[in-house]
Amino acid sequence: MIVIKTRTELEKMRRSGMLVHNILKALGEMAVEGVSTWDLEVAAVKMMQDAGAKPAFKGYYVPAAGERFKYVLCTSVNDEIVHGMPNPKRILKKGDIVSIDTGVSLDGYFGDSAITVGIGELSEQAKKLLAVTRESLELAIDKVREGNRLFDICGTVEEYVVKNGFSIVREYVGHGIGTQLHEEPQVPNYVDKRNENPRLREGMVLAIEPMVNAGRPEAKVLKDKWTAVAKDGSYSAHFEHCVAVTKNGPWVLTRP
Ligand code: MG
Ligand code: MG
């Protein structure tokens, strides 16, 4: 069942969304050559504590991993797609791209967003990968309108990414969000006609999160049970926003 949120609930989600925005903005500026992904984690923990927010990811149980996630951030570098773990030994270097994904709950409502940041000068391909992934999310956000259907979002990401020569990760998808981090519906970055295609209604909130590989689409999970990487070792990018369906069009809760 897709949970419809009231205006009051959307205002609460806005608060958690803006906290996530502020954290990612700070971390994005902090992510430079020589900084470790653990440094980012430490800064995020502090910002969440200062805001009185609960981390959404830390303690989250994932059956496939068979354990709870231990960190407030997912930091996924280069060929890592999602669910990379902050690590003091993972020092960012020139030419790297790092996806920083985080979520919080404030007053019982969740926010979830991700950015991918380039470290120093990037290759032309990496620059294009970030631009295309970011733009596919923007185009999808514009489809978050009453009367459209879920596949309008999914198909928009897929079409733009494929047209630009990159590939869509199929193993991981976006999601509804509210009082739970992951709610219905699933929001794949591709159209699969076997899935349901609900009409978008005022008060739905979707976390749209294109995960795009520069090479082949296939993913695999490392022995650490969490880190998903591109099987062919190609770079992978990830951007995410929470978007509410309103009478006035899309409301991106995770940015000003
Ligand atoms: Mg998400
Ligand atoms: Mg996320």
| Alpha-carbon distances of 23 from 17, 42, 48, 73, rounded to whole Å | 10, 12, 8, 10
CA of 114 to the centre of ligand 2 (A): 5
CA of 209 to the centre of ligand 1 (A): 6
Asked if residue 60 is part of any domain, the answer here is: yes
Asked if residue 116 is part of any domain, the answer here is: yes
pLDDT at 189: 98
CA of 101 to the centre of ligand 2 (A): 5
Asked if residue 2 is part of any domain, the answer here is: no
Q: Within the chain, which residues score under 50 in pLDDT? A: none
Q: Tell me the ligand closest to 189's alpha carbon.
A: 1
> What gap in Å lies between CA 140 and CA 215, rounded to an integer?
22
Asked if residue 188 is part of any domain, the answer here is: yes
Burial 80-107 (b: 16+ CB within 10 A, else e): bbbbbbbbeebebeeebbbbbbbbbbbe
CATH of the domain at 160: 3.90.230.10
Asked if residue 70 is part of any domain, the answer here is: yes
pLDDT at 131: 98
CA of 8 to the centre of ligand 2 (A): 23
Asked if residue 1 is part of any domain, the answer here is: no
Asked if residue 217 is part of any domain, the answer here is: yes
pLDDT at 158: 98
Q: How many domains does the chain have?
A: 1
CA 116 to chain centre: 9
* Single-letter residue type at 237: A
Asked if residue 187 is part of any domain, the answer here is: yes
pLDDT at 135: 98
- Containing domain of residue 76, as a range? 7-252
CA of 106 to the centre of ligand 1 (A): 16
| Alpha-carbon distances of 132 from 83, 99, 121, 135, 142, rounded to whole Å | 21, 15, 17, 5, 15
pTM value?
A: 0.98
